[in-house]
């Protein structure tokens, strides 16, 4: 079983993009490549910088966390970037209880 990570990428215009991946470094390279397999949203928004990442665990849990983070206002996302919470603290902040 692969561990999934949540990540936030900061764009040139200070926007925060949220995603999940099993290999964040590889995914960041994909986002940076011109014509690569990165998100369309991030095209022409570089330079891109990894602002935060946390190892979440299962894909299902990572998808749930990603969905909640994407719904947050930018100010709350900035708080996550500043605080750099552990995965457990992030889940608590979002009100998500991982399955045992």
In this prediction the pTM is 0.91
| CATH-assigned architecture of domain 4-94 | 3-Layer(aba) Sandwich (3.40)
Q: How far is CA 35 from CA 7, 9, 39, in A?
A: 21, 18, 10
What tokens does 43 get? 């095209």
Q: How many Cα atoms are found within 13 Å in the side-chain-facing hemisphere of 86?
A: 2
**pLDDT attached to residue 49:** 95
Rounded to whole angstroms, the Cα distance separating 20 from 4 reads 7
- How confident is the model at residue 1, as a pLDDT? 61
H/E stretch holding 20: strand 16-21
pLDDT digits (tens, 9 = 90+) for 75-99: 999 999 999 999 999 999 999 987 7
Domain spans of the chain? 4-94
Specify the DSSP element, H or E, that contains 78.
helix 74-83
Residue pair 24/5 in contact (Cβ under 8 Å)? The answer is yes
């Amino acid at each position: 079983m692969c561990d999934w990570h949540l990540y936030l990428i900061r764009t040139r215009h200070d926007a925060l993009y949220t995603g999940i991946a099993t290999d964040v470094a590889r995914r960041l390279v994909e986002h940076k490549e011109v014509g690569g397999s990165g998100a369309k949203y991030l095209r022409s928004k570089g330079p891109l910088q990894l602002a935060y990442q946390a190892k979440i665990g299962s894909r299902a849990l990572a998808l749930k966390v990603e969905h909640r983070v994407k719904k947050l206002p930018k100010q709350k996302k900035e708080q996550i970037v500043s605080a750099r919470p552990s995965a457990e603290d992030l889940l608590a902040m979002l009100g998500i209880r991982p399955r045992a």
